A and B are shown apart, each in its own frame.
Chain A
């Protein structure tokens, strides 16, 4: 029998490990994707995936089913990655390297020649984003989340989530202006 996420979460909360296994297997890919985008490397992403599910298991009784289980997991993953980033900042200055692979889809030859320039401009621009802006942008742009879902994950109002995405894009646009101005000439 195929349980919905809500049913499986309810059973897992009552101690049914089989139900929790179903949830882990169902959401692992999505959580890895998000974890990789947040951390920028595979090793940290794997740690984040594991930590996310362990925290989720411990907090299952708090999951009230008002939001989708996937959204709830996204939120936990975000918190785990924030903890990781803060931990790193304490010990050393680490720049997220997830931009190393930007852009990733079918670039034109001209775009390829510009990729280093884009990365060199995009990286500092993304570093300048606030945590909320960066998370909102990742969820919107890479994960394709709706504004309401982003608001749930970040624990803010929908208007604030939307504005965070907007501010992030504005900052990126400003940073990349030299590149796209050259392209449009």
Chain B
């Protein structure tokens, strides 16, 4: 055997014994030394000591991962429901109606003759278009939801026909919901177009609401756009928990403030208080406090924020607001409670800036 290369030696180390190789090492001191140096190196590299993970580690990982999976898979229950819906619709012949109209049945006329005589097919009788009930529309929409996932180009025109057709408000809303749930870019674009179409204000309002439910980047932008329209702004605020607060989640600070501004303009202090409780961004909380103050929110809520919020900027915002409100009672109450000397000094310095009539000079 010729002298093995270093790569062959490495192969031997990892891949296992080759008799020729072993024999060669036994007689060639040079190769033996080189191979030994490779083995020494790899043994020194050793193995990293891995932290232990228990047998249920996979379940723990799943618990963390599943919490972050996209919403889409939540609709998995739709599959059997859709199958049933499609079956019912097929039985009702709703989807084959247009086929029957295109290809009318062959009319056979029996006359008093020994053999039948085939006549020309009769023109189909014009059937009045049957208006589907809401329940039937729901089944149709379920079917369209599946079709949208499989082939958006086919499903989208049908879905838009439902949205723009003579259907009930409830059905239109359901159709928009189906659009909002889809991953299809075409569906998303269609929803955005409806949300921007001021010519159909009722549909626009519903579409904006659906955008709010999405809560992703595109939807947030649409909400920010919609917030500039007073009529839509009111719509955004009608479902604060599901839209405004959701839209604020993870939004860039500038957009959050824009949405908050729209809330402020609509004078919805309930939403702002809700935001104050749930919003992790201290800058946004501080902005909310200022908005609340201008709207005349009185001291109890603000004092509670000062007591419970650990962020210095938020606390300062509360103090500033109390100064603006000339609320000496609240400031003095907070000053009395404040155990930290520096903060107490800060409150007192603010208190000094307002004419607080109740400040009593200590008795001489």
Beta-carbon contacts under 8 Å, B62-82 to A: 62, 64-66, 68-70, 72-73, 75-76
Contacts of A185 in B (CB 8 A): none
Q: Which among A26, A163, A166, A176 is the interface contact of B41 at CB below 8 angstroms?
A: A176
Contacts of A32 in B (CB 8 A): 53, 57, 61
Decide if B115 is an interface residue (CB 8 Å cutoff): no
Decide if B6 is an interface residue (CB 8 Å cutoff): yes
Q: Which among B42, B61, B69, B75 is the interface contact of A141 at CB below 8 angstroms?
A: B42
How distant is A89 from chain B, measured CB to nearest CB, in Å? 22
Beta-carbon contacts under 8 Å, A5-64 to B: 15-17, 20-21, 24-29, 32-33, 36-37, 42, 49-50, 53-54, 57-58
Contacts of A99 in B (CB 8 A): 48
Given A141-B45, A169-B41, A180-B44, is A25 in contact with B59 using a C-beta cutoff of 8 Å?
Answer: yes
CA of A184 to CA of B32, assembled, Å: 12
Decide if B49 is an interface residue (CB 8 Å cutoff): yes
Task: Mark each residue of chain A from 152 to 165: 1 if its CB lies under 8 Å from any CB of chain B, else 0.
Answer: 00000000001101
Beta-carbon contacts under 8 Å, A130-170 to B: 140-142, 162-163, 165-166, 169-170
Q: Which among A25, A107, A170 is the interface contact of B6 at CB below 8 angstroms?
A: A170
8 smallest A-B Cβ distances: which pairs?
A103-B46, A25-B58, A180-B40, A101-B49, A104-B49, A28-B58, A173-B41, A28-B61
Given A28-B57, A166-B10, A180-B37, is A122 in contact with B62 using a C-beta cutoff of 8 Å?
Answer: no
Contacts of B14 in A (CB 8 A): 140
Q: How many residues of A contact B (CB 8 A)?
A: 49
**Contact across chains for A24 and B38 when beta carbons are under 8 A apart:** no
In the complex, residue of chain A having the shortest beta-carbon distance to the beta carbon of B39:
A180
**Contact across chains for A166 and B6 when beta carbons are under 8 A apart:** yes
Q: Which of B45, B47, B50, B62 has the most CB of A within 10 A?
A: B45
CA of A177 to CA of B46, assembled, Å: 15
Tell me if A's interface is mostly helix, strand, loop or mixed: helix
CA of A79 to CA of B37, assembled, Å: 33
Interface size class of B (residues with CB under 8 A): 35 or more
Q: Which of B10, B43, B65, B68 has the most CB of A within 10 A?
A: B65
Q: Which of A50, A102, A173 has the most CB of B within 10 A?
A: A173
CA of A101 to CA of B65, assembled, Å: 29
**Contact across chains for A24 and B48 when beta carbons are under 8 A apart:** no
In the complex, residue of chain A having the shortest beta-carbon distance to the beta carbon of B54:
A29
**Contact across chains for A49 and B61 when beta carbons are under 8 A apart:** yes
**Contact across chains for B65 and A36 when beta carbons are under 8 A apart:** no
In the complex, residue of chain A having the shortest beta-carbon distance to the beta carbon of B72:
A15
Decide if A82 is an interface residue (CB 8 Å cutoff): no
Contacts of B278 in A (CB 8 A): none
CA of A15 to CA of B82, assembled, Å: 15
Decide if A183 is an interface residue (CB 8 Å cutoff): yes
